[in-house]
Structure formats: structure tokens, C-alpha cells
């Protein structure tokens, strides 16, 4: 006998090995039910699909391509955007040249800087003969024509200047815009005494260029280098943070001329200040954008049109016309092209100012110079002309700005 | 489309992904994202967790696509990776409890045909409501078709634990359906 074999094993094997015990009642049903439950879930859930949130693919994509930038930051896109801004700027520059503003052809617009030279409160009437003898009568006649025509529906009393002294309803205000814009046709046939055609802005600019080497002290002090050196200039793909400040001089409309006088009396300064972020696409092209605040001084407008001036405008109800403080916020988008220089860089710039507070948007053309003041720091000065591409009633500021900037390279 | 054409299309898609073509990657993702997200939702407690698992799973899919043998089913391969990612997620989070929950003997299990009357979304919610251990085993066995031996290896548990977890999962599902229909009795 094998030592591990025991007779008791045989006993149990013979008795229990082939014995059948019926399962408890319902067990088969349970097994069947379990299988059926599985089948139901499998049949319904296996083909079932659920669309995941879109953020999942974005995260996967970012993980798979960690060095890929968003589309709007890719150099190709930025190059196309720069070209588009440049083309739009040039297009709008010429397009707006044919517009008429407040009953005056743009060729009759005179820069305020000319008035500034000789105007004092005492000599106000003689210092700006054009305004007293030409512009103001035209403006008042336009306003009177408008009031006469709208007075049928709104018999508001007029003051001495012919301006309605009560606030006009909105509908009347809309009519007034249409009427005033038509008025130059009438006034042009009956010009005021001693009228002489005023030079256009462009003509004046041609005669007195803003930033040629002859007039620009920076250009005289730092003559440009003939060849572009590639030694220390950022070779593209560089981010800059800039703060800019510019004293501004407004041109163009008679209200601005008036406001200039007021401003001169109040000794207030027109200026623009803001911050910009710039991206150097390559050695020559840079695109900048940001936000800037502009104080455009005081504007005189007739009553009834005050609602057209929003934002931080404040109103004074004393006298006619009313005074409006024009303080606006712009979003500039500027493309800069480097012409010459290394430590001293010379550039031209162009772009747009999109106004977000109810003022006027404008296109911008400028030229300037930038000096490297350290490894990451540079300063610049940039005379630029900003031309409005839309006009509020009786207010279309065109501005000469002298942008000064401090730039910090971020990478 | 015939199976051969599907294989060819999948093959070119895989080749595009392997060459780093982002369009091919997006196409592959979009083709299997719906299936994958539903799968992840079954293994996860909520949709946010499911999205995380799906993301990790697809990153793993794209990174190991060169190990895919084109003679097999791409969908099956993707499913396996997503299942493994879900199981790994729960292992890392240590959310699986293998201790069986106390059983309620006083309930009448809902018949399978009643369960069959429920919509897929409702069944999904029932599965998500299961305790994690029950949910893992039920998904693997009942829906994915793994055997208890395979489950025991995947989850590092005994086959007996796998079987008991499955039985408890079924019971709880039927119980939940019974509760669901408690207020609105089903027709026998």
C-alpha cells in the first residue's frame, strides 16, 4: 500500500464522487437572468457613443505638439495681418481725403498749430481771422438753416447764435446730422467776406514735413547709418512691452479751433498715454497693439448733439455752444518697418486706432527712431499723424502726435 | 464600405499619424472619440474624470501607434488602451474597494426585459452608480468580454473575487432598476 493512500479516501470517493445533488430552486433562472442582464448592457452600451467636450482634443493636441503656437501668433499669420493693416491704412488715408466735414471741404481745414502761434485771449478776434470771418459764419449759417427747417416740428426758441437752446429729441438730432452735412452746398455759393481758400492738411504737410531730417532734431543729431547691421538687433520672434506717451496737437474742424482757444485759456494739455505689446516678426517688421487713453481737450458743440459724445465726456450748460471734454480710449494696432540703423534704429510705422468709447477711430502714419539703452531696454521718439476715419457731428479730430516710448524686451 | 477598404483607410490614417500629420491625428481622434468617451464614462464616476481618462488614453494611443499591428482591428486596439488607462487611473487613485457591500435580501430583482426597456443613457447612469470594484468587473466581463482569469490578472485579484464582484454588480443593477421603477410600476 502506498503510504499516502488511505482507505477512507476510497470510501468518500465511491460515495460522493458520482453523487448528484439538485441545485436550489431558482438558481438556473438567476444564472439566466444574469446572462441576460449582461447581454442587455452589452448590446446597448457597446455601440453607444458620447461626444467628448471640445477641450479634450485641444489638450491632446497641445500635448502632442507642445511647441506649436496658436494660429494668431504664428509668423505667417502675423505677416499677413501686418500687410492687411498696411493696405487698409493706405486705403483709408486716400478714401477719407474726399470726405467733407461740418460744412467745410477738407481743403479748407487749417491746422490748429498755425493759430497757436499768435493767439492770446486779448488778440483772439484778430489772431484767427479765418475762424471769425470764414469758418464761424459758415458754421452758424449751417446751424441756422437746420434750425429753420426743423423748427416747424419743434418750435424751440433760438438764441442769438441761432442754436436751439432746448435739448432736441433724438429724431431731431438724427435729422440735424443729415441737414448739417448738406449745408456746405448752400454756404459754398455764398462764402463769407474775405474768404481765401485755406491750404489742405496734406498741402501743409508737404510744405512743412513733420519729420524730415531738416526739421527733426533727432534726425539731425543722429544721422542714419547706410547699411543694416544684424549684430545686435532682435532677429524676430521677440516680444516687447512698451509704455507710450505723446503730447497731441489737434487739427481740422472749427470746433477744434474753438477748443484750442479754450484750452489755451485753461492751459490744459492734450495727450495720449498707453501701453502696448509688440512682436518682432523678423529683423524689420514689428506689430504692436495695446490700449491707450487720449485726452483730446475741450470741444464746443451745439446743444442737442451732446448725446453723440459718450465715454467720460462732461458737459457744461453755460453758454452756447456747449463744452464737451473729449476723453477717449483707443486700441491701436500698429505695424512698424525698420529702415536703417542698429543701435539707433530708424523706422516708419502705420496702423489704426480703434476707438472703444464713442470717439472717432483713426489711421496713423509715422516715422521715428529708437535707441537701445541696454540689453533689453530701448527708448523711442516717433512723430505720427493720426487721421480720423469717421466723424462725430461737428467733430473730426486729426492729430499730430509725438510718441515717446520706453520698450522692454520680454524674451 | 467593405472591411478591406476600412482596413486600408485605417492604415493610411495610422501612417499619417505616425508621420506627425496633425490632420490625420485629428481625424483619428474624431472617428473614435465618441466610442472612447462612452467607454471612459462607464469606468469613471463622472464626466470630468472620463474626459481626463480619454485625454490620457489618446495621448498614449498616439505615442504608441507604432506598436499597432495593422492586421488587427484598430478600434479593438484603441479600446484596450482606453480600458487599461481607465484601470490604471483607478489604481493610481486607489479608488477600488473589493470588500462587498451588504446585500439587501428583501427585494425582487427586476426582470431582464424591464432592464432592456431602458435607454442607453439610463443604463450608463446605473453603471456609473455602482461601487468602483463592481463597476470595473462588470464592465470588463459583461461589456468588454474579458474572462474572469483575464480580469484577475488585470486587476490583480483572485478569480473568486472577480466572480463575486460580478454577481454583486448584477444584483445591484437589478435592484437599482427595481427602485427606479418603484414609483412607476412596470408591467409584468
Same domain, residue pair B173 and B122: yes
| Minimum CA–CA partner of A55 in chain B | B51
Grid cell locating B187: 408591467
Q: Does B27 touch chain A (CB under 8 A)?
A: no
Classified as helix, coil or strand, A5 is coil
**CB contact residues (below 8 A), chain A span 58-117, against chain B:** 59-61, 63-65
Residue A214 CB partners (closer than 8 Å, separation 6+): A220
Report d(CA B127, CA B138) in Å as an integer: 8
Inspect the interface and report whether the beta carbons of A50 and B22 lie closer than 8 Å. Answer: no
Best residue in B170, B174, B175 to probe A by mutation, most A CBs within 10 Å?
B170
| Minimum CA–CA partner of B25 in chain A | A61
Residue stretches of chain B with pLDDT short of 70: 1, 100-107, 182-188
Q: Report the gap between the CA of B153 and the closest CA in chain A (Å).
A: 21
Last residue of a domain, one of B75, B98, B122: B75
Grid cell locating A214: 531738416
Find chain B residues with C-beta within 8 A of A29's C-beta: none
B92 is a domain residue: no
Find chain A residues with C-beta within 8 A of B22's C-beta: 61, 64-65
- Cα distances from A142 to residues A149, A156, B126, in angstroms, run 11, 17, 78
Q: Does B16 touch chain A (CB under 8 A)?
A: no
pLDDT score of A163: 40
For residue B7, give the CATH number of its domain: 1.10.1740.10
Best residue in A30, A45, A55, A61 to probe B by mutation, most B CBs within 10 Å?
A45
For residue B162, give the CATH number of its domain: 1.10.10.10
Q: Does B38 touch chain A (CB under 8 A)?
A: yes
B175 is a domain residue: yes
Q: What is the pLDDT along chain A (411 residues), one digit of tens a residue?
A: 566 677 888 888 887 888 788 888 877 877 777 888 888 899 989 889 999 998 999 899 888 887 776 666 777 777 777 777 777 777 766 665 544 433 333 333 333 333 333 334 444 444 344 444 554 555 556 555 544 554 444 444 444 444 444 444 444 444 444 444 444 444 334 444 444 454 444 454 444 433 333 444 433 443 433 334 444 445 567 889 999 999 988 765 444 444 444 433 344 578 899 999 999 888 888 999 999 988 877 666 555 555 554 443 444 444 455 566 677 888 999 999 888 777 788 888 999 888 877 667 888 888 888 988 888 899 999 989 888 876 655 556 678 888 999 999 887
pTM over 0.80, yes/no? no
Same domain, residue pair B9 and B70: yes
pLDDT score of A406: 93
Q: Which of A33, A37, A57 sits opposite B26 (nearest CB)?
A: A57
How big is the CA angle at A31 (ends A26 and A32), to the nearest 5 degrees? 95
B100 is a domain residue: no
A363-372 CB burial, b ≥16 within 10 A, e <16 = bbbbbbbbbb
**What confidence tens digit (pLDDT) does each residue in B7-53 have?**
888 888 899 999 888 889 999 999 999 999 999 999 998 899 999 99
Find chain A residues with C-beta within 8 A of B142's C-beta: 37-38, 41-42
Inspect the interface and report whether the beta carbons of A52 and B51 lie closer than 8 Å. Answer: yes
Q: Does B100 touch chain A (CB under 8 A)?
A: no
Same domain, residue pair B69 and B130: no
Find chain A residues with C-beta within 8 A of B33's C-beta: 51-52, 56-57
Domains and CATH numbers, chain A: 86-93+106-222+232-409 (2.40.160.20)
Q: Report the gap between the CA of A33 and the closest CA in chain B (Å).
A: 6
Find chain B residues with C-beta within 8 A of A69's C-beta: none
Asked if residue B137 lies in contact with residue B151, where contact means CB atoms within 8 angstroms, the answer is yes
Last residue of a domain, one of B55, B75, B95: B75
B85 is a domain residue: no
Q: What stretches of chain B show up as alpha helix (H) in DSSP?
A: 3-18, 22-43, 47-63, 74-93, 112-116, 120-128, 132-138, 148-155, 159-180
How big is the CA angle at A266 (ends A264 and A271), to the nearest 5 degrees? 70
B95 is a domain residue: no
**CB contact residues (below 8 A), chain A span 287-346, against chain B:** none
B94 is a domain residue: no
Find chain B residues with C-beta within 8 A of A49's C-beta: 34-35, 37-38
Q: Report the gap between the CA of A98 and the closest CA in chain B (Å).
A: 49
pLDDT score of A152: 42
Q: Does B112 touch chain A (CB under 8 A)?
A: yes
For A52, list phi and psi in degrees, rounded to 5: -75, 165
Q: Report the gap between the CA of A238 and the closest CA in chain B (Å).
A: 26
Q: Which of A45, A55, A60 sits opposite B123 (nearest CB)?
A: A45
Q: Measuring CA to CA, which residue among A138, A151, A101, A100 is closest to residue A304?
A: A151
Last residue of a domain, one of B75, B104, B124: B75
Work out how many domains chain B is built from and give that number.
2
Q: Which of B33, B51, B142 sits opposite A38 (nearest CB)?
A: B142
Best residue in B38, B63, B141 to probe A by mutation, most A CBs within 10 Å?
B38
Q: What is the extent of the structural domain holding B54?
A: 3-75
Amino acid at each position: 500500500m502506498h503510504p499516502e493512500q488511505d482507505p477512507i479516501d476510497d470510501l468518500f470517493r465511491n460515495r460522493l464522487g458520482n453523487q448528484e445533488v439538485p441545485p436550489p430552486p431558482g438558481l438556473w433562472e438567476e444564472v439566466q437572468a444574469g446572462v441576460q442582464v449582461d447581454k442587455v448592457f452589452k448590446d446597448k452600451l457597446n455601440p453607444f457613443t458620447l461626444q467628448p467636450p471640445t477641450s479634450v482634443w485641444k489638450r491632446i493636441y497641445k500635448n502632442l505638439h507642445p511647441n506649436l503656437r496658436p494660429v494668431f501668433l504664428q509668423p505667417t499669420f502675423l505677416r499677413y495681418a501686418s500687410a492687411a493693416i498696411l493696405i487698409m491704412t493706405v486705403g483709408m488715408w486716400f478714401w477719407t481725403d474726399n470726405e467733407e466735414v461740418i460744412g467745410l471741404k477738407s481743403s479748407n481745414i487749417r491746422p490748429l498749430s498755425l493759430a497757436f502761434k499768435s493767439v492770446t485771449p486779448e488778440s483772439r478776434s484778430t489772431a484767427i481771422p479765418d475762424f471769425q470771418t470764414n469758418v464761424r459764419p459758415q458754421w452758424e449759417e449751417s446751424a441756422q438753416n437746420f434750425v429753420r427747417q426743423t423748427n416747424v416740428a419743434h418750435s424751440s426758441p433760438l438764441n442769438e447764435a441761432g442754436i436751439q437752446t432746448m435739448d432736441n429729441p433724438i429724431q431731431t438730432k438724427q435729422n440735424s446730422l443729415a441737414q448739417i452735412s448738406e449745408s456746405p452746398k448752400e454756404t459754398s455759393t455764398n462764402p463769407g467776406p474775405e474768404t481765401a481758400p485755406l491750404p489742405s492738411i496734406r498741402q501743409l504737410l508737404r510744405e512743412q514735413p513733420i519729420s524730415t531730417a531738416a526739421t527733426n532734431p533727432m534726425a539731425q543729431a543722429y544721422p542714419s547709418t547706410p547699411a543694416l547691421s544684424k549684430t545686435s538687433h532682435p532677429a524676430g520672434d521677440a516680444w516687447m512691452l512698451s509704455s507710450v506717451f505723446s503730447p497731441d496737437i489737434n487739427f481740422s474742424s472749427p470746433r477744434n479751433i474753438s477748443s484750442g482757444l479754450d484750452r489755451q485759456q485753461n492751459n490744459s494739455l492734450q495727450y495720449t498715454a498707453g501701453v502696448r505689446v509688440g512682436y518682432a516678426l523678423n529683423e524689420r517688421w514689428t506689430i504692436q497693439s495695446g490700449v491707450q487713453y487720449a485726452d483730446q481737450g475741450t470741444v464746443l458743440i451745439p446743444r442737442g448733439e451732446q448725446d453723440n459724445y459718450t465715454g467720460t465726456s462732461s458737459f457744461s450748460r453755460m453758454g452756447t455752444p456747449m463744452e464737451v471734454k473729449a476723453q477717449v480710449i483707443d486700441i491701436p494696432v500698429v505695424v512698424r518697418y525698420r529702415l536703417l540703423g542698429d543701435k539707433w534704429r530708424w523706422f516708419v510705422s502705420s496702423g489704426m486706432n480703434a476707438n472703444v468709447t464713442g470717439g472717432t477711430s483713426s489711421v496713423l502714419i509715422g516715422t521715428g527712431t529708437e535707441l537701445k539703452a541696454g540689453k533689453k531696454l530701448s527708448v523711442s521718439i516717433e512723430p505720427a499723424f493720426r487721421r480720423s476715419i469717421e466723424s462725430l457731428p461737428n467733430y473730426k479730430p486729426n492729430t499730430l502726435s509725438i510718441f515717446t516710448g520706453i520698450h522692454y524686451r520680454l524674451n | 464600405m467593405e472591411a478591406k477598404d476600412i482596413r486600408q483607410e485605417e492604415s493610411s490614417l495610422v501612417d499619417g499619424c505616425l508621420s506627425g500629420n496633425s490632420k490625420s491625428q485629428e481625424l483619428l481622434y474624431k472617428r473614435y472619440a465618441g466610442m472612447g468617451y462612452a467607454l471612459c464614462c462607464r469606468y469613471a464616476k463622472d464626466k470630468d474624470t472620463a474626459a481626463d481618462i480619454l485625454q490620457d488614453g489618446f495621448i498614449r494611443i498616439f505615442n504608441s501607434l507604432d506598436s499597432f499591428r495593422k492586421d488587427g482591428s484598430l478600434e479593438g486596439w484603441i479600446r484596450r488602451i482606453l480600458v487599461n488607462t481607465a484601470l490604471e487611473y483607478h489604481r493610481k487613485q486607489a479608488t477600488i474597494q473589493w470588500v462587498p457591500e451588504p446585500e439587501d435580501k428583501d427585494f425582487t430583482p427586476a426582470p431582464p426585459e424591464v432592464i432592456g426597456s431602458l435607454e442607453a443613457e439610463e443604463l450608463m447612469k446605473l453603471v456609473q452608480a455602482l461601487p468602483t470594484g463592481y463597476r470595473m468587473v462588470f464592465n470588463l466581463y459583461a461589456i468588454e468580454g474579458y474572462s474572469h482569469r483575464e480580469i484577475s490578472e488585470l486587476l490583480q485579484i483572485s478569480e473568486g473575487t472577480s466572480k463575486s464582484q460580478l454577481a454583486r454588480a448584477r444584483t445591484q443593477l437589478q435592484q437599482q432598476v427595481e427602485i427606479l421603477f418603484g414609483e412607476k410600476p412596470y408591467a409584468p
